[in-house]
């Protein structure tokens, strides 16, 4: 697979998982929406949900069932508190996990927050040919993930290869 010469915009969804954030103070969700738009992608849908695994599954299941959605960015619920349930909610929906994403995110995060990165359960994968990235709830963590990992992989021009370029091959059997 080679990188495309022209940018191919993707339709992305953003989900904020929080018991305290609202449309007025969702800085992480705002950052991701602004960043994906600045990169040339389209915001397909956005939601904020309390940290409830069944509600999270319902929202993400709806999005992964939509043919015109290419990816989902989730922020929040990846920590260790009793209420953090994003991995438990969404890992069962994945057809394939992308272990390298969580590993690389924690390496990059270590440079910023030291050993506190051990508490991050950030992960990514593929569900019904949609890329799903689950990030911590802090705006700083979303910025690290977007700028150092996700943005380039969702850009069809990134060489030698990128996730955007795999889209046509995701349903191969």
Chain CA centroid to CA 85, Å: 15
* Domain extents in the chain: 11-168
Under the banding of pLDDT at 50, 70 and 90, the label for residue 1 is low
d(CA 170, CA 173): 9
The pLDDT of residue 173: 67
Are 108 and 148 contacting, i.e. CB atoms less than 8 angstroms apart?
A: yes
Contacts of 160 (CB under 8 A, 6+ apart): 2, 3
d(CA 159, CA 161): 5
CATH architecture of 11-168: 3-Layer(aba) Sandwich (3.40)
Average pLDDT over residues 155-165: 92
Determine which of 1-5, 138-142, 167-171 has the lowest per-residue pLDDT on average: 1-5
User: Tens of pLDDT along 97-121?
Assistant: 999 999 999 999 999 998 988 889 9
d(CA 173, CA 72): 23
d(CA 137, CA 28): 6
- Smallest Cα–Cα separation from 28: which of 96, 62, 76, 72? 76
Average pLDDT over residues 1-16: 87
Chain CA centroid to CA 152, Å: 13
């Amino acid at each position: 697979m080679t990188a495309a010469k022209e940018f191919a915009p993707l339709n992305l969804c953003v989900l904020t998982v929080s018991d305290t954030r609202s449309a007025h103070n969702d800085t992480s969700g705002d950052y991701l929406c602004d960043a994906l738009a600045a990169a040339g992608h389209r915001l397909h849908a956005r939601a904020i949900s309390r940290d409830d695994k069944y509600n999270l599954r319902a929202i993400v299941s709806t999005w992964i069932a939509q043919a015109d959605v290419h990816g989902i960015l989730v922020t929040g619920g990846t920590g260790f508190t009793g209420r953090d349930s994003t991995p438990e909610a969404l890992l069962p929906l994945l057809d394939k996990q992308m272990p390298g994403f969580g590993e690389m995110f924690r390496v990059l995060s270590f440079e910023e927050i030291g050993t506190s990165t051990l508490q991050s359960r950030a992960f990514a994968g593929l569900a019904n040919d949609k890329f799903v990235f689950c990030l911590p709830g802090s705006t700083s963590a979303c910025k690290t993930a977007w700028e150092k990992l996700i943005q380039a992989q969702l850009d069809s021009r990134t060489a030698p290869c990128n996730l955007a370029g795999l889209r046509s091959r995701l349903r191969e059997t």
